[in-house]
């Protein structure tokens, strides 16, 4: 896609802290659900404990999303449902505009919320009982549909920013993919963090780190694509004040890649580091990755406003 040197005479929508944290939790929620589904699809029963943890993350993270979106509406918060229903007198109907990512996203969040809630309850009960609550075959099919929605939830926020006339946001095609890769990486880091002390999930720890490495590689490629596209559009200078945030994002990326490389080497050689050592690594890496996920979104959101 070729972009003209952009001219922007717009006002900022002042999407600030609530939206930043919404984007963060949408990435974590969608990413966790996808990771849980992929772990379950691996077919190895030893991954089930980690898969449950992923679904236990996705549920509450999804619950936070509409709360943050509603809070962002300010004094009009009680009209949050106007996103779903057009209350124009004489023209009352459901609202759905496939060309408006915000409209599609609201519906996707509603439907994904159903999947995330069911999978959360299933994981919670399964964990207490020690056996699956929903038959596994049915659950897998359910999870696959939920994961497709999860991929959308984690990515559409970037597309929403692009579908505007704001500087930076509308000057690149990379934000949807970037937010998705970053959300998956953050979710993998959070799953790794929470399973690091669970013996029943220890089998999955290195594999989750390895997956995080792949997600981070994608994220790195998309960060480069992002800077190239906004550079071509002439809005690169807007990122300069936010370089400290980009530095945090890059540190998170690097930590994820180094950790993944370490685990892949250990798996290849058949050895493993000391359990205590891996736990410390996982904790530090997870914190760095999650801070990076937040910083990346903050840099993108604030640089346009």
Partner 1 sequence: MATQIKAGESYGFFTDTSVCIGCKACEVACKEWNQLQGNEATFLADSFDNTGQLDAQNWRHVKFVEHVPDQSATAGNGTAWLMMSDVCKHCNQASCMEVCPTGAIIRTEFNTVFIQQDVCNGCRNCISACPYGVIGMNPQTGTAHKCTLCYDRLQGGLEPACAKACPTQSIQFGPLSELQQAADVRLATLHSQGVTQAQLYGRDETVYGGLNAFFLLMDTPETYGLPSAPNAKLPSRNNLGGYAGAVLTAALAVVGGLIAFRRRVTG
CB of 89 to partner 1, least distance (A): 8
Is the Cβ of residue 76 or residue 197 nearer to partner 1 in the bound state?
A: 76
Q: Are 73 and 156 in contact (CB under 8 A)?
A: no
| Cβ distance to partner 1 smaller for residue 166 or 286 | 166
d(CA 164, CA 142): 34
Which residue, 251 or 264, has its beta carbon nearer to partner 1? 264
Q: How far is the CB of 275 from partner 1 (least distance, A)?
A: 15
Min dist. Cβ of residue 288 to partner 1 (A) = 20
- Whichever of 121 and 232 has its CB closer to partner 1, that residue is 232
Nearest approach, Cβ of residue 51 and partner 1 (Å): 10
- In the complex, least distance from residue 213 CB atom to partner 1, rounded to whole angstroms: 8
Residue placing its CB nearer to partner 1 in the complex, 121 or 272: 272
């Amino acid at each position: 896609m070729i972009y003209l040197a952009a001219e922007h005479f717009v006002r900022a929508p002042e999407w600030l802290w609530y939206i930043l944290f919404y984007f963060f939790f949408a990435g974590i929620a969608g990413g966790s659900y996808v990771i849980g589904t992929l772990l379950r699809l691996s077919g190895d029963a030893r991954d089930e404990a980690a898969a449950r943890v992923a679904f236990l993350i996705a549920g509450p993270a999804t619950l936070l999303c509409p709360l943050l979106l509603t809070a962002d509406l300010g004094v009009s918060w009680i009209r949050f449902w106007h996103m779903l229903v057009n209350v124009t007198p004489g023209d009352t109907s459901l609202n759905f505009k496939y060309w408006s990512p915000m409209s599609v996203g609201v519906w996707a969040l509603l439907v994904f919320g159903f999947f995330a809630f069911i999978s959360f309850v299933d994981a919670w009960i399964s964990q207490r009982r020690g056996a699956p609550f929903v038959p596994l075959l049915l659950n897998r099919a359910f999870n696959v549909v939920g994961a497709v929605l999860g991929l959308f939830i984690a990515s559409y926020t970037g597309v929403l920013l692009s579908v505007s006339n704001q500087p930076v946001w509308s000057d690149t095609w990379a934000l949807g993919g970037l937010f998705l890769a970053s959300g998956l990486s953050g979710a993998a880091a959070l799953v790794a963090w929470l399973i690091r002390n669970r013996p029943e999930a220890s089998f999955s720890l290195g594999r989750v780190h390895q997956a995080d490495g792949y997600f981070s590689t994608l994220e790195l490629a998309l960060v480069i694509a992002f800077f190239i596209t906004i550079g071509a559009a002439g809005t690169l200078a807007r990122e300069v004040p936010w370089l400290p945030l980009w530095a945090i994002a890059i540190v998170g990326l690097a930590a994820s890649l180094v950790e993944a490389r370490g685990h892949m080497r250990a798996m290849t050689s058949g050895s493993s580091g000391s359990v205590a050592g891996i736990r410390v690594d996982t904790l530090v890496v997870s914190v760095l990755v999650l801070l990076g996920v937040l910083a990346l979104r903050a840099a993108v959101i604030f640089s346009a406003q």
